[in-house]
Structure 1
Amino acid sequence: MSTPSSLPERVSVTKTLPKTIQGIKKRAKKICLPGQKHAEALDIVARELGYRDYYQAQQKLASGETLPERAEHQSRHSVFLSAYWRDMDTKPRSAGCETLEVFLPRPLNTIVSKHQATYARNLEGFRQEAPDHLEMISNANSQARAWELLVRAALTLQFMEVTGLRPATSQKQRQALELLTDFPSKDHDSLWIDSASGMWIMLDEPYGHVNELSMVEKRAAWITEKSLHLTKPAWAGLYYPDNAIPHLISPSADLLSTVTVNLEGLSPIAVVPSGEQEWLGVSGPYNARFMSPARKASGVARRARPGTTYGFSKGAVEYHRKAGYPLLWRPETPLSQADHKRVGAELQCLMISPMPFKAYYKIRKWCSTLEDWMFSEYRDSDREAGFYETYYGGEPSVYPTVSDQISALKRVREIVIDGYIECKPRRDLLKDLEIATAIIEGQAPT
């Protein structure tokens, strides 16, 4: 099987659609997936042309009507989705890279922006590596899981293209979720905004228990009380396709009706391999660095995923790496275990003392980070008595006054400066200690 990097070159990433009934049939036969009904493939092609389904396309074209104007020059645009995986449960351990190509009526950037993608159901873990390529940032834990994640990402792109909905990204847009907080049996919900009207729709995807009559009535009564509208489209959904039960809720009945009609009977753009259904993507080695046509055409080198390259930081050493996440660094020389215990005792007292939340958050963050540094600095055989209670599990006492807290932070700062050599991790720690001190000093005197 070819690797992602050996996908065939394309003169263009667009493909022209058929214009006749015969052409629709020919194309449906070509794209029909194993185990898929030919009628479903016919409907897919008809919708690509702008019709509701194949029956409508037959009726319109048989009467001599030309293709809808928007479909007359419509092309299919390639979008590539890729994901890396490592399976630690196999012997020997296995790894790879999966790439799935799907075709959409419009370019990727017109369906979802880089910023929006991070908020969309199933796209949260992806980044836009190129105008035609979405790459999963972290690793999946198996090949099957990588396939599943890629298919779900493809279904989300199809959902946005068909409905015109975009994920809610701003705090103002997401305020609608407050209204829906106590919606009975709400589960796996995602909030979407109509790009034309700005109106919102919530996609609620609970499991089958919501089909019980008592729950149906309870949810319907809640919807009526809140002056909202609800539909249950015959559609696979996004969270757990064909397993969770998708419902749409919105204050706009017209928008809800339009979106529901667009989703009803929508054939999935991709499917997860199972039984006789083979994987329709390309499987390659873990170190494959897929270059999409748009990336190649740009002449710009592709970016490496976070956590997959090596770096250098003066006076610091890397102590943790994980694909998809920034490298973690600590000072290269350790703090003595006695000093760790002194710092830990101070931080434990500070974390139970009354102070502004922003200051508490900084202290809590560094309490956890310093514990990570300590575990990296000392191996099991070198750990002294009380090692595991250094930062958590002691018997702290409250520092009741601002003066007490400032003094404690000053003592922590002095230990850090004396015990760790100058480096970026130490500078980051000292900076946050200064910020926490300033926040505490700024509160009203006690």
Structure 2
Amino acid sequence: MVTLATPPSTIDGIKRLAKAIKRESGIAHHAALEEAARKAGFQNFLHATRAITRGSDQSYTVYVTVYWNDLRSEAPSSGRYTVEVQLTRPLSELLADGLKVGGAYLRNFRLEAPDHIEMRTDASSPVSAMQYLDQASFALLFINSTGLVRVFRKENIKVMNGLERIPFADHMTGWEDPQSGDWLLLDEPYISPEPGFRKEWLQENGLHQVAPQWHGVYYPGNAVPYLISPSQALLSRIQAQVESIPDCSFPMGIPQAMEYDSRFISPARAASGKPRRSRTMPTSGVSNGALAYGGAPGVRSKWRPARGMSLELHTTIGPILHKLCNSSVRTAGVTTRVYDRLNQVRSRLEEWAFMEHPGGITAEVDAKLYYGLPVDGYATPQDTLKAIETARDVLLKGYEECKPRALLLAKIESAAADLRKRISR
């Protein structure tokens, strides 16, 4: 029998005791957790988690910022929201492996300062901005309280992808314990079905489900969160942990709207003495023979030659690239590596053609450009190489020297070099 000199007073201590009880008694892990919690003086493991969590007063304030730019409504508006979230671990520790640990909910954010994450792109409206704020904030609290991260092990991803469609499921995200490797699905449908729903499906797939009294992450207060996993021990622990998140940790109410051009300076950023890093913004104008185009807040602009290529040369190089991209490895030596480079050149040149000749590309001209009906590829590797060299010569003739042209030429030269190696074997 497991005897105790001093009952454990931490969650980790209770877990260690549970392992000892499991080894000695041979009972299931979740049952061992319950027994260990009782030996530590608590009613059960959930009671232990709540009580121990409440006893910890260490708190770290972190900040989440989202910008919005609404140009489609009758009354266009723009602005910035910043909210506070209370964590029990420093943000820099929580995100030590990068924002990827938060999966889709933190994918569009960047770590602006050790205590501040900021969305890279703009939300489309104040309502959308609030949803992004809630999802990022609640994802941070979920990771902070559970220690889970977005699912990353290939075997876990394969298992979850292999499950048949879960009845009534919606807005599912995959998570896993980075230590044990156990996985968990967070399912957040809008409906709250009858108790015991999908019981047969869960049994058929060897899974268990709990419905914690918790806000969830996807749409807090509106969607209903369910936790699904093959591990009852994991479900028991995660349920206890999310239900123990103090209400004071969550951002409440609608934050004050600030000017779009305003910049939030967090305490950690101010203490560092280093200037705040600006968000990536679109570029305009001409630089070194190249013209900027496209882009958006958080998305870099692309560049094209400032002086366009004639439509005649576009209709010369277009069919060549189209035929190259229809050539095969067997007859013409176009491997996947060669194809990828040529197809990238084809795609970019088509984009440039429509910008360089707005309104000048009729359906008849478009049929002579970069895409169209399938065609026979080149007959031999030698013919393919000659066509690639011709495409290179057209680019050199059609565009003046600049970085965008150089990048396309590099792809063409790389494709030619790979093909030369194949021919010389």
Aligned residues: 372
Aligned to 2:163: 183
Distance 1:211 1:333, change over 3 A: farther
* 1:183 and 1:219 in contact (8 A); partners too: no
2:97 is equivalent to residue 97 of structure 1:
no
Instruction: Give 5+ residue unaligned stretches, structure 2.
Output: 1-41, 329-333
How far is 1:177 from its partner?
A: 1.0
CA distance in structure 2 between the partners assigned to 1:409 and 1:345 by the alignment? 12
Distance 1:191 1:402, change over 3 A: farther
CA distance in structure 2 between the partners assigned to 1:87 and 1:144 by the alignment? 10
* 2:192 and 2:224 in contact (8 A); partners too: no
Aligned to 1:123: 106
CA distance in structure 2 between the partners assigned to 1:401 and 1:361 by the alignment? 19
Distance 1:289 1:177, change over 3 A: same
Alignment of 1:227-306 (within 5 A): 229-264=208-243, 269-270=249-250, 278-279=253-254, 281-306=255-280
2:144 is equivalent to residue 161 of structure 1:
yes
Q: Structure 1-normalised TM-score?
A: 0.73
How far is 1:412 from its partner?
A: 1.3
SS in 2 for 1:282: coil
SS in 1 for 2:129: helix
Aligned to 2:10: none
Aligned to 2:133: 150
Alignment of 1:434-445 (within 5 A): 434-441=413-420
* 1:313 and 1:424 in contact (8 A); partners too: no
Aligned to 1:30: none
Distance 1:271 1:358, change over 3 A: farther
CA distance in structure 1 between the partners assigned to 2:75 and 2:175 by the alignment? 43
2:362 is equivalent to residue 388 of structure 1:
no
SS in 2 for 1:341: helix
Residues 38-64 of structure 1 deviation map (CA, whole Å, 9 limit, x = unaligned): xxxxxxxxxxxxx99xx979x98xxxx
Distance 1:89 1:70, change over 3 A: closer
* 1:85 and 1:140 in contact (8 A); partners too: yes
* 2:283 and 2:293 in contact (8 A); partners too: no
Tell me which moved more, 188-197 or 210-219. Answer: 210-219
2:290 is equivalent to residue 316 of structure 1:
yes
Aligned to 2:31: none
Instruction: Give 5+ residue unaligned stretches, structure 1.
Output: 1-50, 61-67, 273-277
* 1:406 and 1:437 in contact (8 A); partners too: yes
How far is 1:249 from its partner?
A: 4.0
How far is 1:293 from its partner?
A: 1.2
How far is 1:109 from its partner?
A: 1.3
The aligned amino acid for 2:175 is W
Match of 1:332 among 293, 306, 324: 306
Aligned to 1:35: none
* 2:202 and 2:208 in contact (8 A); partners too: no
CA distance in structure 2 between the partners assigned to 1:419 and 1:347 by the alignment? 15
2:61 is equivalent to residue 78 of structure 1:
yes
How far is 1:138 from its partner?
A: 0.7
Aligned to 2:121: 138
* 2:53 and 2:244 in contact (8 A); partners too: no
CA distance in structure 1 between the partners assigned to 2:395 and 2:197 by the alignment? 61
* 1:319 and 1:376 in contact (8 A); partners too: no
Residues 9-59 of structure 1 deviation map (CA, whole Å, 9 limit, x = unaligned): xxxxxxxxxxxxxxxxxxxxxxxxxxxxxxxxxxxxxxxxxx99xx979x9
How far is 1:334 from its partner?
A: 0.4
CA distance in structure 1 between the partners assigned to 2:388 and 2:190 by the alignment? 50
The aligned amino acid for 1:177 is I
CA distance in structure 2 between the partners assigned to 1:126 and 1:401 by the alignment? 49
How far is 1:101 from its partner?
A: 1.5
Tell me which moved more, 347-356 or 98-107. Answer: 347-356
How far is 1:216 from its partner?
A: 4.1
Residues 191-229 of structure 1 deviation map (CA, whole Å, 9 limit, x = unaligned): 3232443443333445649879785423430x22xxx55
Q: Structure 2-normalised TM-score?
A: 0.76
How far is 1:440 from its partner?
A: 4.4
Distance 1:191 1:394, change over 3 A: same
* 1:184 and 1:218 in contact (8 A); partners too: no
How far is 1:392 from its partner?
A: 2.4
The aligned amino acid for 1:181 is N
How far is 1:409 from its partner?
A: 1.8
